[in-house]
Amino acid sequence: MRRNERMARRWLGIWAAACLLLAALLASTGSEAAARIGVITMQPGEVFFERFGHNAILVDRGDGSEPTSYNFGFFDPTEPDFVSRFIAGTMRYRLVALPLSRDLAQYRASGRGVSVQWLDLDPTEVQALIAMLEVNARPENAVYDYQYFTDNCSTRVRDALDAATGGLLRRQLMVSSQGITHRMEAVRLALPAPWMAIGFHLGLAAEADRPLSRWDESFIPMRFADALNGVRRADGRPLVVAEETLLPHRLAPPPREYPLLRIEAMLLGFALAVGLIVLGRRAPRVLAGVAGLFWLFAGTAGLLMAFLWLGTGHHFAWANENLFLLSPLALVLLPGAVRALRGRPPGRVFETVLMLVLVLAAFGAFLKLMPFMRQENVEWVFLLLPVHWALARHFRLLAGARPADR
């Protein structure tokens, strides 16, 4: 009897130990399974560098601690070479890991909406991504060379998730396109600040007009969030398993479509040309002042575009066809405008350069007929070519009438 009792106790102890071991294993497995990854998307703000939204990777370790936001969008404007790097197109950004509540504080204060998409990742993918982020967030690894369209805070989030999933995102997002271009996105999102939208439209060259895949569109955080909703795992499971609003959006949303203003630009260009002709007949000196302001703008804009092409790393501004419409040569016309403003003849050099500026603008318009010239600047042709023509017409007539006036 005692022997049987001892045997029963022994087996009971073994069974209890086995249960404890199993419970420990289950708890350990459950802890790893509870860790999850999300993509935070911040809506556009009102400051110019907030116009395009933002995103980050959210890591919830499932151990009761506050989730960590891995944010690739930090820069230091106090760096000694910050301004020069900004101008040259070689800015430095860095990855920062910070508690979610701290990351959300600025968005709550500014009224920007924030949402999170929780992803269906395998435990090994979760742990690999966490390890990758922890290594990249170290001070010696955190800094990267920022490129607005091709290597920014959103593309870094995309690339990290793609690496953790063995190229899943690239395989599915590289094959589709909605016909969207970098110019469309930049101008659309900058429209609430018209000066910013005009600057993008005028300063971006043909490289910004290449149709983008969904992969390339992901340089905009909101586009990336939309693309994630269409990604599927190998077995057909959606990658995004849940979405949650962290902060409501209290600001006006950006325009949904890229504005096509060709008709408006054509009508405005025609109206400006007619107005200049009438002004030249009634008040030639006033027209000379208006022409001088226009040539000052044209020449300065041309110099800036030439500098972006030849002196910076802003690749999407290289070989800008708007240089035909806004040539630095326009600055040579300013002394003639001053002479005309004083009622004196502008001079022979002025007349020659004036015709050259018009010919360049006309050639820029002719290029729109060439199928290999894909820069989207028809609006600028419709707007600026009539102005060049009207000014050239006025001063040519003025030069032709000068002998008779004597």
* pLDDT tens sequence across 17-39: 443 343 344 444 444 447 999 99
User: Is 144 a domain residue?
Assistant: yes
User: Is 19 a domain residue?
Assistant: no
- Which residues, in sequence order, are CB contacts of 81 under 8 Å at separation 6+? none
- What domain range is 135 assigned to? 30-247
- Which one of 218, 247, 276 terminates a domain? 247
Alpha carbons 371 and 129: distance in angstroms, whole number: 45
- Which residue is associated with the tokens 């289950």? 26
User: Is 45 a domain residue?
Assistant: yes
Alpha carbons 342 and 276: distance in angstroms, whole number: 18
**Is 63 found in the same domain as 176?**
yes
- Which residues, in sequence order, are CB contacts of 227 under 8 Å at separation 6+? 169, 173, 214, 215, 217, 218
What CATH number does the domain containing 48 carry?
3.90.1720
Total residues belonging to the chain? 406
Instruction: Tell me, letter by letter, the H, E, C secondary structure of 7-63.
Output: HHHHHHHHHHHHHHHHHHHHHHHHHHHHCEEEEEEECCCCCHHHCCCEEEEEEECCC
At residue 274, the pLDDT reads: 98
Beta bridge partner(s), residue 38 = 58, 118
**Is 79 found in the same domain as 110?**
yes
Please count the structural domains in the chain.
Answer: 2
For 236, phi then psi, to 5°, come to 95, -5
- Which one of 247, 277, 302 terminates a domain? 247
**Is 201 found in the same domain as 139?**
yes
Q: What is the pLDDT of residues 272-328, one digit of tens each?
A: 999 999 999 999 999 999 999 999 999 999 999 999 999 999 999 999 999 999 999
Confidence of residue 402 (pLDDT cuts 50, 70, 90): low
User: Is 46 a domain residue?
Assistant: yes
Q: For residues 207-211, give the mean pLDDT.
A: 95
Higher pLDDT, 75 or 398: 75
pLDDT at 9 over 50: no
The token pair at 111 is: 């009224």
Confidence of residue 78 (pLDDT cuts 50, 70, 90): confident
- Please state, rounded to an integer, the average pLDDT across all residues of the chain: 90
**Is 277 found in the same domain as 183?**
no
Label the pairing between strands 92-99 and 143-145. Answer: antiparallel
- Which residue is associated with the tokens 């959300």? 104
At residue 401, the pLDDT reads: 61
**Is 288 found in the same domain as 237?**
no
Alpha carbons 296 and 120: distance in angstroms, whole number: 57
At residue 398, the pLDDT reads: 81
Instruction: Report the percent of the chain where pLDDT is more than 90.
Output: 79
pLDDT at 151 over 50: yes
Q: HSE-up of 113 (CA within 13 Å, CB side)?
A: 14
Sheet-wide strand order for 143-145 = 143-145, 92-99, 68-74, 54-60, 36-42, 114-119, 240-247
Most confident of 44-48, 258-262, 322-326: 322-326
- Which one of 201, 218, 247 terminates a domain? 247
**Is 313 found in the same domain as 227?**
no
- Considering the entire predicted model, what is its pTM? 0.86
**Is 297 found in the same domain as 215?**
no
At residue 372, the pLDDT reads: 83
For 283, phi then psi, to 5°, come to -145, 75
Q: For residues 207-229, give the mean pLDDT.
A: 96
**Is 313 found in the same domain as 169?**
no
Q: Are 328 and 358 in contact (CB under 8 A)?
A: no
Any long-range contacts for 56-62 (C-beta under 8 Å, 24+ apart)? 56/103, 56/153, 56/157, 57/129, 57/133, 57/157, 57/160, 57/161, 58/100, 58/116, 59/35, 59/129, 59/130, 59/133, 60/35, 60/36, 61/34, 61/35, 61/130, 62/31, 62/33, 62/34, 62/35, 62/36
User: Is 334 a domain residue?
Assistant: yes
Instruction: Report the percent of the chain where pLDDT is more than 70.
Output: 90
User: Is 372 a domain residue?
Assistant: yes
